Structures are given as C-alpha cells and as structure tokens.
Chains A and B, each alone.
Chain A
Amino acid sequence: MAKKELDLVRRRFAGLLLTIFVVGGLFAAYLFLAPLYPRHAYLSGWIFLAVMLFLTFFNFRKKVPFLRMGSVGFWLQVHIYVGIISGALFFVHIGFSWPHGLLNQIIAVIFAIVFVSGVIGLWISRSFPKRLTVAGFETPFERMPHVRTSLRKEAEALLLAGVDNQTSPVIAEFFTDRIGLFFAKPRNLAAHLLRSQSPLASHRSQFGEIRRYAKRTELDMLGKLEDLVERKHMLDYQYALQLTLRVWLFAHIPLSYSLLILSVAHVVVVYSFSGSAP
C-alpha cells in the first residue's frame, strides 16, 4: 500500500514537472520566437484546438472502457496536466491581452469558465473523497434516498411506539415541528459544504432542552432519536459533498462542447477574413 502511494506521488511529481516544463517552454517560445514567426497566433490556435479536442476525448474514453487504452486513472492524470497546459496555451494564443470582439470574448469567457471549473473540479475530486471517508457513514449517492427513508421511518416508529406509552405532548410537538420535516429531504447543504457544525449543534441544543420535559422512560427514546438525527446530518453531509462532486461537471462538460463549436466557428471566421484566400 505504501509502495503504491509512493508510486502515485512520484507519478504526480513527474507529471507536474513535465507540465511546468511545457508551460515554461510555451511562455519562452512566445517571448523569443513569436516575433520571428508572424503567424504564430494561427499556429498556437491550431495547437489549442487540438488540445481542446484531446481534452474532450477524455469524456469519450470513459465511455469506451472495453478499449485497452490505459486506465481511466492514467487518462485523468493526462487530462489534468494537458488541461493546465491549455491554460498557458490560451494566454499565448491571445497574446496575454484580453480579446476584443464579441465572438472572441464569448470564447474567452467560456474557456475561462471551463478552465476554472476544471480546477475547482480537480480540487473537489482530490479533497472531497477524503472528507467523505473521514466523516464516516459513507453511502452511495444512489442509495441515499433509501437510507433517508429508512431513517425517517425509524424515527417515526420510535415516536409511534412512544405514543402507545403516553409520550409527553411536548416531545410529540417537538418531533412534528422540528424533526419531522428534517427527515423528509436533504438539509443544510451549504452548511455541510462549509463544514459548519451549527445545524447539528442546534439540534443537539434542542434535544438538550427537550430532555428537561421528558419522563425517565422517554429519555432512552430521545437518545435513539438524537442518534437518528445525527445520522441524518451525516447523510446530508455525504449528500452535499457527493452532489457537488457530480454537479461541477454540469458546467465543465456542456461548456466544453460549446467551446469546441465556437472554436471551430472562430477558425472559419479567422481564415475567411484573413485575406489569404485567392
């Protein structure tokens, strides 16, 4: 296991070093060679387009796992490093100045969103799994509704069992007003993303208060109910993070295709307006 981790670190270090080398090479080429090659913007544009196609290819690679073309993990690493290089290539292509013109600005803005969403996605995909593991109560995303329903049913069953034993109306009201809806759907997503413990603390505080009105026989039930609430918080935490792990792709992937379409249009416009046609 330790050897595997070491290999991973080495591989990442090598990849990062290579990326830095390529990015440095690009900037140096722009500084020293661009004045000698007047059509460098066309050249960097074609390379940029090829890089974007390659990056989009990663999405297709995921869809054809039967082709033996290296692991998805390997391609993900390549996707990340080439993605970083594409950022440098973008700056080289636009000459380190924000483009004018509506079409060019739209392309630049979309690239910026795709690039930034990629960086955020990279950070999310590297940091969130660790947070999910550390938090415990790991649950597959697709199974969460089932678990949520189970928790709700367990809570309701606890309360109904108490009603038979003439539960205090205060506890019944507490469940109805504050706890019942909490089990109905995912809650406090933003707070969980920010690692805020305030929703849980609030519930604990409420349980602390309600215990003062509970009979001795009801304390056990309240303890179980509080445990269920804690588990629901953990489930919500898992849901918030796993949802984010999936949702960032809603910006990254669709806009990547949009970028490709606009880039092709950009090539056509630039070539047809270049004045080089006979």
Chain B
Amino acid sequence: MKNDRKSPEFASHEYVRPNLNWECGHACEGCPCRIGPSPKGECRATFECSPKLVTKPGETKGHWSCTRPKSGGGKCENGPMPDGSCCNAIPKCRPRRSLRSMRKLAVVFTCIATVLLLLIGVSRSMRDGFVNPGPISSVHSSEHFANVHRKMSGDASTCAACHDGAKDGAASWHAKALGAFKEGLAPADLIKRGPVESSAMDKSCLACHQGMEFHQPNMPANFACQECHKEHGTSGFMPPADSAYCTACHGDADLMAKSRDLGAKISPHSFPNFTGGSDGTVPARVRPEGGYTEVINDFHTDHPEFRQIKDSLAGKIQDTNTLKFNHAVHMGKGAMPRELNCADCHEQDGRGEYQQPITYEKHCTECHTLQFDETTPGLTLPHGDPYYVRAFLRSLNIQYEEFGRDIEGITGREDLIAYIKGKRESIEGQYETGEDLEHMVFFSDKGTKFSGGQRAAFTGCAVCHEVKPAESINATPKIEKVAVPVRWMTLGKFDHSLHEKGLTCLDCHDVMKSELTSDLNLPSIKSCTDCHSPQGGIDHSCTSCHTYHNSKPFTPLGEAPAAPAKADE
C-alpha cells in the first residue's frame, strides 16, 4: 500500500547537477554555497556578494550597496563594510567528489590496476605461470623434459619448447599475434570445418618426436599435432584422442571421396603397406581398393565388417597354413586322450595381448609322438627337417645302438648286438624294405585312433603335413613349410588378456565346427559391438583399436618397395 506522505518541496533554483565532478563540502550539511567548487575541486567561497559602489546625484563619494541576490536571501541587514567588502564571509569548505566523479575515478584506478597486473604477470619471473592456460601433462612438465629442452635450445622456459611466443618474451607477442591473425587464424580460417591443419608448432613437437609418420598420404591436408593431443588439460597423462577427431574426417563423405580421389593419383609405394613377416606368421596387409575411405561415424553403427571376415566370405583370403588341423576334432569330447582347452595350445605372450606361436615341441608332441617302431616306445623320429628324418631312417642300426645304450642301459657289447639284431628283425617284420619304411614315414596319412587314453601312434608325416615326393631318386621328400599365423588383424590392436574377464575364447572364436585349416575362425564385428557400444557400456573409441600414426612403409634393405596390392587380390 502506497504511503501518501508528500515529497519535500524545493525551490527550482536549488537544483543540483549530479553530473558535476565536485560538490560543495557544505552540501552534506544541506547548505552548499551558491557558487560551488571549481572544476578542479577548489573551494571558491569568498563573500556572499560583491558590493557595488552607488553614487547618487550630488554625492561625491557614493556608498556601497549589497548585491546579494534574492535566491541568497536578498540584501543583508548590515550591508557592506566601509571599505566596500562584504560583511558576510562564506566559510571555506573542502569540496568533495560527486558519486559520478568517484565512479570515474574507480574506472581509472581499476584500469591502471589491471594494466599493472598484466605487466607484473608477463614479467619474466611470473610469465609462464601467468599465461599458462592449464596444467601440463606429466611428461611435458617433468624435470627430464626441461633438461632435454634446455640442452636443445638453451632456454630455461619449458613453454618455449612448444610455443615460439615464449622464446622472445612479451615484447614480441603483439607481432606474433598479428602474424597468427594474418596466417593461420584469420577470421575466414575460424569457420573452416575439419581438423586443424598443420601449424608451425608441429615443428616443436617433431623436434623430439622424430620420425613420426602422419597417417595416410592421401589426406587432403596434414593436421596439427594439437588437434588430437590436447595439452594444458591435465597434470597426468595426456588424454587419449577423442573419436570425434577421427570421425571429423572419416564421417565426412565428401572428405572421404576427396581422399579416395587423391589416393588414386598417389604412387602406391607411398602408402604404409604392411608386408608381413618373412616366415608367413603375420600375413601381409594390403591396402584395399580406394584406401580406408569408407564413411564411418561410429564403431557400433557403421564401421565396416573386418576386412579379413569380408574377404574370407568372398573367398579372397583363407588361412594358407599347410598344417592339417581340425579344430572340431581337437576340441571335441571323447575323441582325444584328454579334454583339450584352447590354452593348451594358444598361450598368451608376455603382455597378454596376442598369442605365442604354436610349436610342435610344446603343443603337439604330447599326443603326436613320432614313434615309428611299435616295439620301441621312446625312439622317435626327429622333427623339423625331412632330410634328418631320412638320415635317421637310413642309420637305424646306429639309432638302435644309441637308444639301447643310453636309454635301455645295455652296456655289454654282446647284449647290445643282440638288442640291435632283435630290433632289426622286428622292424623288418613290420616293413618289407627300407624304402617301404621311408615311404610309410613320409607319406602315410592314416587317421590316428586313440584307445584308453593312449598317445597317437605315428602313422606318417602326411597326417599333418603336405608332403611332396622327392624330385629325384636320391632326394628327400619335400614337406611344405608350416606357418601358423599369430596375428591376422594387423590394422588394429587387440589385448586378449583384457577380454578374459567374463568371456571365453569360444564366445568370439567359433571353432567347434571348424574342420579345415583354411578357416579363419575370427570373430565378426558383431561380437565386438555387443560390448563395445553405448549399449554394451565398454569403450568404443577409435583409439582403443587403431592408432593414427603409421610406421614408414616396410622396405627391407636392398629390396624394392613391395608391389602394390591389386584390387582383386
């Protein structure tokens, strides 16, 4: 409810101008002088009026008359002094600033304080800490990094390791800022889509990170290191690159088309084809037709099926290992002397990421002995080279003698001769001739039967290997070199040990029905996206499998670069 108390009334001539910088010191007492302070804030109070000398007709001296205006109270009673001065002196005051003037002063002081703060902040001793926009990662803030930088450049400021601006001091900042404004950060550049293109700062990164290759050569532009490697965010490890940086290009159909066109014009030798190991245990990775330019926005939505799976289904690739291996039989129950687990053959490497190579000595010999003589358990053929096998068979007397002496412990000469003779008769009973024995050893491929948990009797190399007849009479039969691939997917990384929790091998590798060595038995992308997706709740970022940086194209010394892969290969 409004109070009806009336406002005080004032004479119109008493209006006070609030825009003046100074007001009379008596204003707070409610009685400011009429003249007020000077613009500089000096009190101008003297007398209430300047008496005027009035000379009436007939008067010679005249008399002083008060000139105080009506607004000041009109003519005073006492009138001017005989000497013509006013009798009412105005008491002096100390003018004070108006609110408006005080605000102006506050603005000036604040501006000066701000500039001082800036000057102190950018002074040499405080500069790095003042302008630093955030904590540096542990590697780049380490003492070791500072020492390396100091040795390389002689500059004590570690900021200068990356930033040119820190090298020359604050005096050069405006010039550098202007340079950046003209070159890389002009207004038109700010609305450019896609990743930040390579900048001068990358040179600083490459000063230490030498030899780092940047992705594929058919990229429309090289991108700045800082695009993915965000510094000044945390004092721990640098955060991993966000998938958004990858999909900024790989999710852009236009950019991918551009990249595809560019790739067609570039020499195939420029691409980092992985040629694989010389022993065939790691298959070569050839660049697909059009390169890696399929549009991908997310792993769980539109990431293409793994190439190995696609090519396998299309019949383009298969396991070319010559070893005859049947997963279904080995994993089946009842057919084996004991129940086998995947880990019986597939052992993880030291880091738990991949599987160690499978060897006969470690993984096969338990069941697949090379016992060729039924009557002499323990006497086995050498494994690994058919030449040695043939030499072994052609020196059976010596082999029986050594076995009898070293293993059976027969030391008497007569006893040893009798032992060898017995064995010779026994083996001759099993095989008509030595040639038959050799032929059986190399070429027999009869299936092995187990009974009562016994080891498999040796029936021939051809049970497991591809054996080719000797090319000449005295030559040794040829056994195709076995190369068990230890890694198929060379474009991405994988850590088997991380997948052991809650998953078995068979959850991803469906080997229970695999009867052929040529079966890849690799999991499809579907088995990955079940977990690696927002629904699965497991990390599905690009960098969890892929790395942006590539190694240089593998070119063994003295060899020409690998031939480019054909599209239909």
Contact = CB atoms under 8 A, between A and B. Distances in A.
A249 B103 contact: yes
**How extensive is the interface on chain A, given as a class?**
35 or more
A127 B159 CA distance: 51
B190 A39 contact: yes
Contact of A275 (B135, B189, B191, B201): B201
A147 B27 CA distance: 11
A278 B130 CA distance: 24
Q: Is the interface of B mostly helix, strand, loop or mixed?
A: helix
A136 B191 contact: no
A246 interface: yes
Contacts of B129: 102
Contacts of B189: 39
A119 interface: no
Contacts of B115: 261
Nearest to B16: A142
A37 interface: yes
A226 B28 CA distance: 23
Interface stretch (A77-85, A162-170, A264-272): A264-272
B166 A276 contact: no
Interface string B185-197: 1010111111110
Nearest to A278: B183
A274 to B, nearest CB: 5
A257 B107 contact: yes
A42 B193 CA distance: 13
B16 A103 contact: no
Which of the listed residues B106, B173, B176, B193 has the most CB atoms from chain A within 10 Å of its own CB? B176
A43 B191 contact: yes
Interface string B516-545: 000000000000000000000000000000
Interface string B134-172: 110000000000000000000000010011111000001
Given A231-B5, A262-B114, A267 B177 contact: yes
Nearest to B27: A145
B2 interface: yes
Which of the listed residues A146, A231, A267 has the most CB atoms from chain B within 10 Å of its own CB? A146
Nearest to B117: A106
Interface residues of B, number: 76
Contacts of B190: 37, 39-40, 42-43, 46
A69 interface: no
Contact of A257 (B99, B111, B121, B194): B111
A234 interface: yes
Interface stretch (B7-15, B64-72, B387-395, B486-494): B7-15
Contact of A135 (B3, B132, B159): B3
A258 interface: yes
B204 interface: yes
Contacts of B201: 274-276
A134 interface: yes
A275 B199 contact: yes
Contacts of B226: 275
B30 interface: yes
A100 B191 CA distance: 25
A149 B26 CA distance: 11
B450 interface: no
A273 B1 contact: no
Nearest to A269: B131
A277 B183 contact: yes
Nearest to B115: A261
B7 A138 contact: yes
Contacts of A19: none
Nearest to A246: B99
A148 to B, nearest CB: 6
A257 B111 CA distance: 7
Nearest to B121: A103
Which of the listed residues A37, A142, A234 has the most CB atoms from chain B within 10 Å of its own CB? A142
Contact of B166 (A39, A234, A258, A273): A273
Interface in A234-274: 234, 246, 249-250, 253-255, 257-258, 261-262, 265, 267-274
B497 interface: no
Given A101-B132, A146-B30, A258 B114 contact: yes
A1 B508 CA distance: 79
A196 interface: no
Contacts of A148: 30
Contacts of B27: 145
Interface in A101-123: 101-104, 106
What are the 8 A-B residue pairs with the smallest beta carbon separation, nearest first? A275-B201, A149-B30, A276-B184, A136-B3, A100-B134, A271-B177, A277-B179, A254-B110
26 contacts: A38-B195, A38-B227, A38-B248, A101-B132, A101-B134, A102-B130, A103-B121, A106-B117, A136-B2, A147-B8, A147-B30, A149-B31, A246-B99, A258-B114, A265-B118, A267-B177, A268-B173, A272-B165, A272-B176, A272-B177, A272-B180, A273-B165, A275-B180, A275-B200, A277-B177, A277-B200
Given A254-B110, A262-B114, 19 more contacts: A35-B244, A37-B191, A39-B189, A102-B129, A134-B1, A136-B5, A137-B5, A140-B10, A150-B8, A234-B3, A254-B106, A254-B111, A258-B111, A258-B114, A261-B118, A273-B159, A274-B184, A275-B163, A276-B180
Interface of A: 35-40, 42-43, 46, 99-104, 106, 133-143, 145-150, 231, 234, 246, 249-250, 253-255, 257-258, 261-262, 265, 267-278
